[in-house]
Amino acid sequence: MSKLRSDVSLETLNERGKEYLPGYLGIQVIDLQPNVLRSRMPIQKLHIAPNEFLHAASVVALADTSCGYATIAHLPDGAQSFTTIELKSNHLGTVTEGTVACVATAQHLGRTTQVWDAEVTDEASGRKLALFRCTQMILWPR
């Protein structure tokens, strides 16, 4: 079982991204539990590609942000930060309106790496839109 950091909350995560890409895209962290983080992103025109489909980069940004924030919330005691060392996505469908939701789930929480899976869905229907896997390297003070 994992241990959540006591200094990380929904509020601190949402505030952290406010002036960065997650804030600009409207990503909202809505639930944080041991081994799981849930988020959502209301679709705006900026999330849509010129072909009028949901831009793959928007989906990746939601999933990667969710896995990254989950990593922050699960950093081992004494760890300084993390960096993404590998990510993969499979896109299964699209939407052009509404809200997309993401659930990030821990697969491995080690001292040197963490592996997170994320599933992105259409919030209204629950239809699966993308699957994502992210490997994070834990950074320690020098």
Task: State the Cα–Cα distance between residues 76 and 52, nearest whole angstrom.
Answer: 42
Which residue would you say has higher pLDDT here, 50 or 1? Answer: 50
Question: What is the percent of the chain where pLDDT is above 90?
Answer: 98
Residues 67 and 102: their CA atoms lie apart, in Å, by: 10
**What is the rounded average pLDDT of the residues 24-42?**
98
Beta strands (DSSP E) in the chain are 28-33, 36-42, 81-91, 99-109, 113-122, 128-139
